[in-house]
Amino acid sequence: MNFNYPKNERLKSKTTIGLLFSEGKSVSKYPLRLVYRQAEENSEEQTKVGVSVSKKYFKKAVDRNYFKRVLRETYRLNKHLLLDNLNQPYSIMLFYQTKDRLSYEEINTKTIQLFEKFTAQINKTPDSEPKTES
């Protein structure tokens, strides 16, 4: 498995990010939230991921940048959980949504749980019962 996070996997397109906020679906596992949208069917792009930390909770850029680095690192180390279970490309944003300063280990555990919840949600059959979010 290739544990890198190259530029072509980073979500940078303003139009794609705008579509994520307007048409995207979300999955949460406190304190993380994952907003996703299936990529266009005729495009040949791959799954792209972006991270965000709210200025509301962390006023100093140093603190926001630290948590963004941690989110990128947890994605980089656990992306195989996503990519192995996806059959089409997605645009994904990861959000850190609390003012609590969790440790790297706690964030990593929550990221794994979030990815498992996400893959279960997108791979479920349409006739099965909907699951409630926790």
Residue 41: both structure tokens together: 């069917």
**What does the pLDDT look like over 3-45, one tens digit per residue?**
888 898 899 989 999 999 999 999 999 999 999 998 876 666 7
Radius of gyration of the chain (CA): 15
Nearest-5° Cα angle at 83, 5 to 115:
90
| Torsion angles phi and psi, residue 9, rounded to 5 | -100, -5
Residue 45 is predicted with a pLDDT of 74
* The two structure tokens encoding residue 79: 């992306």
For residue 2, pLDDT beyond 90: no
Entry pTM: 0.85
pLDDT-derived band at 87, boundaries 50, 70, 90: confident
Task: Please name the fold of domain 7-117.
Answer: Ribosomal Protein S5; domain 2 (3.30.230)
Q: What is the pLDDT of residues 91-131, one digit of tens each?
A: 999 999 999 999 999 999 999 999 999 999 988 855 445 55
Which residues share a beta bridge with 42? none
pLDDT, position 127: 45
pLDDT, mean of residues 39-60 = 86
